[in-house]
Amino acid sequence: MPTSSPPSVRRVVFVDGVRTPFGRARKDGLYAHTRADDLAVKTVRELLRRHPQLPPGRVDDVALAATTQQGDQGLTLGRTVAMLAGLPPTVPGFAIDRMCAGAMTAVTTTAAAIAMGAQDVTIAGGVEHMGHHPMGFDADPNPRFMAERLVAADALNMGVTAENLHDRFPALTRERADAYGVASQEKYAAALAAGQIDPDLVPVALRDPERGWGLATADEPPRPGTTVEAIAALATPFRPAGRVTAGTSAPLTDGAASCLLAGEDVAAQLGLPVRMRMVTFAYAGVEPEVMGLGPVPATEKALARAGLTIEDIGLIEINEAFAVQVLSFLDAFGIADDDPRVNPYGGAIAVGHPLASSGVRLMTQLARQFEEHPEVRYGLTTMCVGLGQGGTVVWENPHFTEDAR
């Protein structure tokens, strides 16, 4: 029998987050000749460089996610990246997979350990090199999924699930999706010009066999100047005469992101900054054929646990796998398509979506927005997940003051 009571739950804080510039996943893309694990190493090293007051040996665990865990993004990423990044051999690590919510799950899993007192400081993140490892490559879905009709025949194609959302909700028109896609590009361009993107990027050295050495310092996917007219003329690859296009979908992307988490008491002890406080989190499942709806029940569950409503949320970072998926979330909560609370810096339609790393990108952007908006007390990060899931994390702004309202 235990001789003492379990430790009380303590507050978990988001200390900092960084990411690589995102590259297009193609043979001539930014990271065509760069290893996936090296991208993750860059983010971990940068976190340690930015916070020299943190003794590397104080990191209790490294959790890194990848959706396709093979080749250069396999082999227990958390442990191998920790070793490659120069952390002491005493620091353990592990790999995790919840598809698009991989990094988000790495954060919430290690945060739970911190909250119960089992750990003090963790590094959590994710990497996806879709140029080396296309989504679903070499996967072998169990034939029972189809034979026993456990999922619809089109549930494994993410683009088709987006078309299914258009079918299910006629109010989610192609015109609305096209306008949202353009707005994402415009907001990202404005944020970049205002200096709100670069502070979170870590440059990556590149070596191309033909072009020699280079340096990645900026995101490759954005298409500034995109217009509604240009998107309206695009093909619909997932269905003849469909509504989902390249202009309303996140491009296939390579990149990594990592963050530093700590107990609030430990952060104070070590002199680490507190950029966000975790309030709660939730995951939920939906029908796989409409996986884009996942953020709705996940957010409902998280808000209920926190004792909050959507009106209490002043900033929302939602992953833009597809424009229609974001619009379904907005309609579910009665939020306007152009609500300034939603993705102020633009989203994945512009910057890209390297699957397992995107959750930390959302968090890092929210942390910076909290600094800009002391009148906002609560924000959330949310995303849909393949095979019909959603994940949401509710955060509190440590810079909040009543006087700023």
As a whole number of angstroms, the distance between CA 375 and CA 333 comes to 22
Phi and psi at 127, nearest 5°, equal -145, 145
Closest-CA residue to 253 (of 162, 138, 133, 381): 133
Catalytic residue among 100, 129, 166, 373: 100
What type of residue sits at position 194?
A
Residue located via tokens 């959603």: 390
Closest-CA residue to 400 (of 383, 386, 381, 379): 379
- Check if 353 is active-site: yes
Helix (H, G, I), strand (E, B) or coil at 116: coil
What type of residue sits at position 48?
L
As a whole number of angstroms, the distance between CA 226 and CA 306 comes to 39
Contact indicator for 111, 394 with CB cutoff of 8 Å: no
Closest-CA residue to 253 (of 78, 130, 70, 114): 130
What type of residue sits at position 276?
M
What type of residue sits at position 130?
M
- Check if 259 is active-site: no
Contact indicator for 310, 296 with CB cutoff of 8 Å: no
Contact indicator for 96, 52 with CB cutoff of 8 Å: no
Query: Which structure tokens are listed for 321?
Result: 């796998």
As a whole number of angstroms, the distance between CA 357 and CA 254 comes to 9
As a whole number of angstroms, the distance between CA 44 and CA 82 comes to 8
End-to-end CA distance of the chain: 51
Catalytic residue among 132, 133, 259, 384: 384
Catalytic residue among 133, 166, 353, 373: 353
Closest-CA residue to 391 (of 266, 290, 284, 287): 284
What type of residue sits at position 223?
R
Contact indicator for 144, 150 with CB cutoff of 8 Å: yes
Query: Which structure tokens are listed for 253?
Result: 């992307």
As a whole number of angstroms, the distance between CA 215 and CA 374 comes to 35
Kindly list the catalytic residues. Answer: 100, 353, 384
